[in-house]
Amino acid sequence: MQENLVIVESPAKAKTIEKFLGENFLVKSSYGHIRDLAKKNLGIDIEHNFLPEYIVSDDKVKVVQELKSLVKKAKVVWLASDEDREGEAIAWHLSEVLGLDSSKTKRIVFHEITKDAIQNAIKNPRNVDLNLVNAQQARRILDRLVGFELSPLLWKKVKPSLSAGRVQSVAVRLIVEREREIMAFQQTSSFKVSGIFEPNAKEYQLKAELDKRFDGKAQAQDFLQRCIGASFSISNVDKKPGKRSPAAPFTTSTLQQEAGRKLGYSVSQTMTIAQKLYEAGLITYMRTDSVNLSDTAIKAAQKAVVSMFGADYHNARQYKTKAKGAQEAHEAIRPTYMENSTIEGTNQEKKLYELIWKRTLASQMSDAITEKTTITIGAPSLAEKFIAAGEVVKFDGFLKVYKESADDESAEDEAEVLLPPIKVGEAQNAIEISAIQRYSQRPPRYAESSLVKKMEELGIGRPSTYAPTISTIINRGYVIKEDRAGYEREFESLILKKGKITEKLSKENYGAEKSKLFPSDIGMLVTDFLSEYFGNIMNYDFTAKVEKDFDVIAEGKLKWEEMIRKFYQNFHKDVEQTMENSTPTKGERTLGVDPKTGKVVSVRIGRFGPIAQIGSSDEEPVYAGLLKGQLIETITLEEALKLFDFPRNLGEFEGKVVQVGIGRFGPYVKHASKYVSIPKTDSPGEISLERAVELIEAKRKADIEKVIQIFAGDPEIQVLNGRFGPYIAYDGANYKIPKGTDPKLLTADECVALIKSQASTVKPKSKGKAAAKKSSEKASTKKSATKAKSTAKTTAKKAK
DNA sequence: CAGTGAGCGAGCTTCCGCTTGACTT
């Protein structure tokens, strides 16, 4: 029997540590926090000095039970949760819940999982730091107060089931404000001039840009005119050495950004894949804000760099974490074994691993040495000058393995330009000089990863919450992640060639978006509402400010109850006053008058989303839902009136009417009481009968392909092709087909057997939402279905 | 899944940060 029980937060970590500690230590995991504020009411007794009511979380009851029994058998309990505010609180909750006697309890910390670090920790135990615990309690209670007082305000004044919080509401604000910047953006254009030059002997060509742009076409034209007959020559050559340094090893946020930019992963995808790598022991912990590498890792990287590229390429570096509010409980994200440049696993896992491996390796490599050459070309008759710039990498250093990507996709990829040896004074002939109209760029919309970057800069949210926060604001309908088609615009070019200027009008596409975050009407409405009445909480500095208070509490120089009281006094007063004085808001906006009826046209948020309305509410108005991408804030009268053209008859097909309409899920074509969605690339206002028939036929084909098998004896049982591959549908529920089974060869009897062997994985279609959520566990596989779960299962079945 | 948008009233929703699975048609 082990005399020592060590409790860490993560089970994967427990496994590793057990190996380092030897037989006399049993290492278990708490699976994160084990207790939280009670969910009913506030979970905080405001009358009694904000006394928190903590309850063991449902999914932790078993964990706590097991730990309790192990504690009884142990002589010493080592609380080894993470070395940060939350970790300290976990240690404290554990000692409270497990009833740990301080004489047999020791608190230890380490922020790297190496044998030395852990044995060192065991040699230097301390007590739970109650000041740090109190700082966590203040954080927790503040978040609960803000979330549970603001959300009900929104239910009452805006719409039920909405939510507000210190983190999510500010994240939404970022997206809303960016959208408004884009709305307010005034596009301007100017003429950018570039030239291609060649010396008399024609041994090379130089592409150079003019040092100024022209606002108008006339000026550009005038300049090209002045270039005719000008005698160009090299007026200056300037060489400057430069260097580039590698980026720091990955934190959660930078990993999410680079995986998004380089691999196209969403933030939550990146985290799921990283979790797999972590559990397989391939990388260190993936939720971290630290760029720190352990000495062991730095040495391993050195070995790898030197053996692969030679000593010249190595440069040991230790990076400093700059992120606001970083707690640095863990190392940076790095491979556990630097010698593994690739791994076994899925393609996605391999790619993410290689990204991490390269980034880590590069962080321990030499700077790249470059040389920048700037060549100036001028003519005596011209005040303006052409500049050709080139950069040559003299020594590649870390660039051999890794180059960081940029968010700004418009930043032209500065390809390496090798400039020929050039003498000052050498005459040049202008082969071609062109002036091209270029537009100013609007601010970019946020992608998931650039939002995370911004949040980290502001100190809002933590590595463990970036991905869930994005899910929350999308699920609440505040934000929509989608693609948008771009627009076409014209631009002019003036080209001087062989002494003649020609003009050209061309078209280009701009503004197309892929997987970007757009605010919804409700997101804008809630942001405005909260900003009006709770400016302090919506302030980008709010988190940073309260963090300062938490730090003072952690130092023992401020009582947490004092801090909370001071905050709550004003906050609660604002909540009460807003509840009383503000009028419910639907974001209503009047657009004008309908020329047909003379009635007022307005838009607002209705029960099922944004709607347009003709006529005021006391004169039997007509309604139409807004289309995807349309906003209450920006829709025009003309666009709104178009919405009332639906449903519209397009004509007949196979003797039945073809209709185009707009439903809850967007525009659709209806034919013979069947519906087909109209893809985004088509405009429902202009769709033709031919196109509609095309869609109907495509849908029919897809429906046929959907059915793999139907059995003559049992028409109830169907083998279908779904989003996740083939499955069996029977009696409104769906069943899995085991891997390796050919769905085409299944017999009816085999299907029945599969149906019987699997508890229904689905959904009484009625109202049993809560029940459906908890139901379904494959009875056969998992070793012990808990009692609670099996009861839930029967309820779910009955609910049907 | 897809023509909805009244009004009443009961009962419910909700936060942020630690952790994993369970599960998706």
Residue A46: other Cβ atoms inside 10 A: 14
Best CA proximity match to A591, nearest among A624, A623, A639: A639
User: CB neighbours of A594 closer than 8 A, spacing ≥ 6?
Assistant: A600, A601, A614, A641
- The first and second tokens of residue A507, run together, are 């078209």
- In this complex, the nucleotide whose C1' atom is nearest to the CA atom of residue A136 is B17
Residue A62: other Cβ atoms inside 10 A: 13
pLDDT at residue number A767: 35
Please report, as a single letter, which amino acid is at residue A35.
Answer: R
pTM reported for the whole predicted model? 0.87
Helix/strand/coil for A537: helix
In this complex, the answer to whether residue A792 has its CB under 7 A from any atom of chain B, a nucleic strand, is no
Q: What is the CA radius of gyration of chain A?
A: 33
More confident residue, A675 or A386: A386
Q: Tell me the three-class secondary structure of A461-500, residue by residue.
A: CCCCCHHHHHHHHHHCCCEEEEEECCEEEEEEEEEEECCE
Q: pLDDT, tens digit, for every residue of A605-644?
A: 988 889 999 998 778 888 888 988 899 999 999 999 998 8
Using CA atoms, how far apart are residues A657 and A211, in angstroms rounded to an integer? Answer: 63
A319 as an active site residue: the answer is no
- In this complex, the nucleotide whose C1' atom is nearest to the CA atom of residue A327 is B17
Using CA atoms, how far apart are residues A683 and A692, in angstroms rounded to an integer? Answer: 11
Residue A550 has pLDDT above 90, yes or no: yes
**Parallel, antiparallel or unpaired: strands A54-56 and A35-37:** antiparallel
pLDDT at residue number A414: 52
Average pLDDT of the residues in A216-235: 96
Residue A687 has pLDDT above 70, yes or no: yes
Considering A31, A54, A265, A285, which one is annotated as catalytic? A285
Using CA atoms, how far apart are residues A119 and A110, in angstroms rounded to an integer? Answer: 9
Residue nearest to nucleotide B13 (CA to C1'): A161
Q: A747 near A756, Cβ under 8 Å?
A: no
Q: Tell me the three-class secondary structure of A126-170, residue by residue.
A: ECCCHHHHHHHHHHHHHHHHHHHHHHHHHHHHCCCCCCCCCCHHH
Residue A642 — left, alpha, or beta (φ > 0 → left; ψ -120 to 50 → alpha)?
alpha
What band does A669 get if pLDDT is binned at 50, 70 and 90?
confident
Buried residues in A739-761 as b, exposed as e (16+ CB within 10 A): eeeebeebebeebeebbeebbbe
Q: pLDDT, tens digit, for every residue of A317-359?
A: 999 998 888 999 999 999 999 999 999 999 999 999 999 999 9
- The first and second tokens of residue A304, run together, are 């790898």
pLDDT at residue number A649: 85
Pick out residues 448-487 of chain A having their CB under 7 A from any atom of nucleic acid strand B.
460-465, 468-469, 472, 476
DSSP string, A57-74: -GGGHHHHHHHHHHHHH-
Residue A661: other Cβ atoms inside 10 A: 15
- In this complex, the nucleotide whose C1' atom is nearest to the CA atom of residue A161 is B13
pLDDT at residue number A732: 64
pLDDT at residue number A786: 33
Average pLDDT of the residues in A293-318: 97
In this complex, the answer to whether residue A325 has its CB under 7 A from any atom of chain B, a nucleic strand, is no
Using CA atoms, how far apart are residues A636 and A73, in angstroms rounded to an integer? Answer: 73
Using CA atoms, how far apart are residues A530 and A150, in angstroms rounded to an integer? Answer: 9
Using CA atoms, how far apart are residues A779 and A154, in angstroms rounded to an integer? Answer: 42
Helix/strand/coil for A263: helix
Q: pLDDT, tens digit, for every residue of A161-176?
A: 999 999 999 999 999 9
- In this complex, the nucleotide whose C1' atom is nearest to the CA atom of residue A9 is B19
- The first and second tokens of residue A101, run together, are 């006697």
Q: pLDDT, tens digit, for every residue of A470-501?
A: 999 999 999 999 999 899 999 999 999 999 99
Buried residues in A441-467 as b, exposed as e (16+ CB within 10 A): ebebbbbbbbbbbbbbebbbbbbebbb
Buried residues in A490-507 as b, exposed as e (16+ CB within 10 A): ebeebebeeeebeeeeee
Helix/strand/coil for A410: coil
Q: A251 near A319, Cβ under 8 Å?
A: no
Helix/strand/coil for A52: strand
pLDDT at residue number A755: 74
Residue A436 has pLDDT above 70, yes or no: yes
- In this complex, the nucleotide whose C1' atom is nearest to the CA atom of residue A285 is B19
Contacts 24+ apart (CB under 8 A), A132-136: A132/A85, A132/A88, A132/A89, A132/A554, A133/A88, A133/A89, A133/A91, A133/A92, A134/A553, A134/A554, A134/A559, A134/A560, A135/A85, A135/A550, A135/A551, A135/A553, A135/A554, A135/A560, A136/A85, A136/A86, A136/A88, A136/A89
Using CA atoms, how far apart are residues A280 and A277, in angstroms rounded to an integer? Answer: 5
More confident residue, A41 or A207: A207
pLDDT at residue number A765: 37
Contacts 24+ apart (CB under 8 A), A593-601: A594/A641, A601/A637, A601/A640, A601/A641
Q: A191 near A494, Cβ under 8 Å?
A: yes
Share of chain A above pLDDT 90, in %: 72
Distance measured from the CA of protein residue A57 to the C1' of nucleotide B17, in angstroms: 14
Distance measured from the CA of protein residue A612 to the C1' of nucleotide B9, in angstroms: 28
Q: Sheet with A76-79: list strands edge to edge.
A: A25-29, A4-8, A76-79, A105-107
Nucleotides of B under 7 A from a protein CB: 1-6, 11-25
What band does A412 get if pLDDT is binned at 50, 70 and 90?
very low
Q: A518 near A479, Cβ under 8 Å?
A: yes
Q: Tell me the three-class secondary structure of A292-318, residue by residue.
A: CCCHHHHHHHHHHHHHHHCHHHECCCC
What band does A222 get if pLDDT is binned at 50, 70 and 90?
very high
Distance measured from the CA of protein residue A218 to the C1' of nucleotide B13, in angstroms: 62
Cα angle A397, A402, A406; round to 5: 120
The mean predicted confidence, pLDDT, of chain A is 89
Using CA atoms, how far apart are residues A291 and A289, in angstroms rounded to an integer? Answer: 7
- Residue A124 DSSP label: S
Using CA atoms, how far apart are residues A627 and A678, in angstroms rounded to an integer? Answer: 12
What band does A730 get if pLDDT is binned at 50, 70 and 90?
confident
Strand-pair partners of A480: A518
Pick out residues 674-693 of chain A having their CB under 7 A from any atom of nucleic acid strand B.
675-677
Q: pLDDT, tens digit, for every residue of A765-800?
A: 333 333 333 333 333 333 333 333 333 333 333 333
pLDDT at residue number A724: 62
Q: A691 near A682, Cβ under 8 Å?
A: yes
Q: Cα separations (Å) of A293 from A94, A324, A335, A360, A573?
A: 29, 19, 11, 9, 47
Q: A587 near A524, Cβ under 8 Å?
A: yes
In this complex, the answer to whether residue A27 has its CB under 7 A from any atom of chain B, a nucleic strand, is no
Cα angle A219, A222, A224; round to 5: 110
Residue nearest to nucleotide B12 (CA to C1'): A161
Q: A625 near A641, Cβ under 8 Å?
A: no
pLDDT at residue number A725: 67
Q: Sheet with A725-730: list strands edge to edge.
A: A707-710, A718-722, A725-730, A733-736
Average pLDDT of the residues in A569-586: 94
